[in-house]
């Protein structure tokens, strides 16, 4: 430790509100304030790569590209596996026409995190600019594989099909991109070029000419969301820690319309939490806590098999069932949800109101899904001659959850455990990182 370490600790202890304010500013979308906040944090700890990364985002947004590039360089120097910084530095290179260096950064980013859809897409764009079309096609395919709702990747792949003379494939990808994002300019332009100006919503207007160097995506800080106040009472749900810094993943509907949010772990006193970002379409939300760090965080595993045993931990029926948490077992009964929704899993493990946002775990203690809903048994009984379905419950697949976390600049642990555990061991592990979420 540096000799000034004790003095630094004393200074931090003496002025925590000021440092907390600097930390909030550093992550804000007020770029001048963010630069001041990040600079202050860097002065306190010049070896924290995250603060350089956040300051670089604001420099870039303010047009100070050289300063942004220097900060990304420093962040990567401090953490060579910082795949978001590698991606963002690549976007600067590609904007300057340096596609070779951009390709190197995007490739390194995908090597560190093979599931990072944004970098796969950006890698495809660099390859496309270099006229390496077959390789670009494969890169866009990888982006779509890891984020099936990535409209831009479909549009970009449509461009490659068009350049390769495969008109029908191009139109199919363009139209799928527009179903995901009706304003997707690349898809609109591609259909216009092909003379096919109809999508699922009818005729489209010609888009403005696009800048070929404006397409790669920089990973941005999530914009703070100010939800409208909840009208009556409160509710509870479940969430689980996905980062050592105190980020919690839960459902969007658990924290929608809250005046305030609090979380409690292992029966401790509730701590306040803040909504970082949410996705109402996929029903996911990311929270952050201050000064509330878990003893462990969830590890995520992609892919789950039909018939596989799974476990659910959460806090159902608050005030009625045990406040210490509830652990149930079941199996994967389908690898898709209602209407063949491929973002969902169907489970037989019992869940109740309050389980929403909780983890679904495999036999190794890895999270493979996020509980989202149960089938309304009484409603189904009305259309099935009184037959009441038993334990038909649904969870969001971990692939969708991980893509959402990436969009919020949180890297969930994807180093899946491989040792098989007994049910009590899985319950104990889940208890260590699963919290009750209360919306008031």
pLDDT in 10s for each residue of the chain, 440 residues: 233 333 333 333 334 566 677 877 887 778 898 899 899 989 988 888 888 998 999 898 888 889 999 999 999 999 999 899 999 999 999 888 899 999 999 999 999 989 889 999 999 999 999 999 999 999 999 999 999 999 999 999 999 999 999 999 999 999 999 998 888 888 888 898 888 654 443 433 433 333 333 446 666 554 433 333 433 345 789 999 998 888 999 998 888 878 888 888 876 656 888 888 888 878 899 998 876 777 789 999 888 889 899 999 998 876 555 566 889 999 999 988 776 778 889 998 888 888 899 999 999 999 999 998 754 433 333 333 444 345 678 899 988 888 888 877 787 766 678 888 999 999 999 999 999 998 87
| CA distance readout (Å), 112 to 57, 346, 398, 424 | 21, 31, 19, 34
Between CA 86 and CA 96 the distance in angstroms is 16
Report strand pairing: 284-289 vs 202-203: unpaired
Q: Which CATH class is domain 5-203?
A: mainly alpha
Q: Which residues lie across from 247 on neighbouring strands? A: 288
Domain with CATH 2.40.10.120 in the chain: 234-440
Between CA 390 and CA 101 the distance in angstroms is 56
Instruction: For domain 234-440, give the CATH number.
Output: 2.40.10.120
Domain with CATH 1.25.40.10 in the chain: 5-203
This prediction has a pTM of 0.48
Between CA 262 and CA 272 the distance in angstroms is 4
Between CA 251 and CA 357 the distance in angstroms is 5
């Amino acid at each position: 430790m540096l000799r000034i370490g004790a003095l630094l600790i004393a200074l931090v202890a003496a002025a925590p509100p000021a440092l907390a304010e600097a930390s909030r500013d550093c992550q804000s979308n007020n770029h001048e304030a963010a630069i001041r906040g990040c600079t202050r944090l860097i002065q306190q700890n010049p070896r924290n790569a995250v603060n350089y990364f956040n300051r670089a985002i604001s420099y870039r947004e303010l047009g100070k590209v050289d300063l942004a590039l220097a900060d990304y360089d420093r962040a990567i120097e401090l953490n060579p596996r910082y795949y978001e910084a590698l991606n963002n530095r690549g976007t600067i290179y590609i904007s300057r026409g340096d596609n070779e260096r951009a390709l190197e950064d995007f490739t390194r980013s995908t090597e560190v995190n093979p599931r990072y859809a944004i970098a796969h897409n950006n890698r495809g764009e660099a390859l496309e600019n270099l006229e390496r079309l077959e390789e670009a096609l494969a890169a866009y395919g990888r982006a779509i594989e890891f984020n099936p709702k990535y409209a831009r990747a479909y549009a970009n792949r449509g461009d490659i099909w068009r350049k390769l003379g495969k008109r029908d494939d191009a139109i199919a990808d363009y139209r799928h991109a527009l179903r995901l994002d009706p304003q997707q300019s690349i898809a609109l332009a591609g259909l216009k070029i092909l003379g096919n100006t109809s999508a699922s919503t009818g005729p489209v207007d010609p888009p403005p000419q696009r800048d070929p160097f404006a397409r790669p995506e920089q990973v941005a800080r999530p914009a703070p969301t100010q939800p409208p106040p909840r009208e009556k009472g409160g509710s509870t749900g479940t969430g689980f820690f996905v980062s050592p810094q105190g980020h919690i993943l839960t459902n969007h509907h658990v924290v929608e319309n809250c005046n305030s949010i609090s979380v409690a772990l292992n029966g401790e006193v509730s701590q306040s939490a803040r909504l970082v970002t949410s996705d109402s379409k996929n029903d996911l939300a990311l929270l952050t806590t201050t000064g509330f760090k878990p003893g462990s965080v969830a590890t995520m595993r992609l892919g789950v098999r039909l018939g596989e045993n799974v476990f659910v931990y959460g806090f159902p029926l608050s005030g009625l069932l045990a406040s210490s948490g509830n652990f149930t077992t079941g199996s994967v009964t389908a690898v898709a949800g209602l209407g063949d929704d491929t973002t969902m899993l169907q489970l037989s493990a019992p869940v109740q109101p309050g389980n929403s946002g909780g983890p679904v775990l495999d036999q190794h203690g890895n999270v493979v899904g996020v509980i989202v809903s149960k089938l309304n048994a009484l409603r189904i009984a009305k259309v099935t001659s009184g037959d009441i379905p038993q334990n038909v419950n649904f969870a969001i697949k971990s692939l969708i959850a991980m893509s959402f976390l990436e969009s919020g600049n949180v890297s969930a642990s994807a180093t899946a455990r491989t040792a098989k555990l007994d049910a009590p061991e899985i319950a104990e592990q889940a208890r260590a990182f699963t919290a009750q979420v209360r919306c008031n």
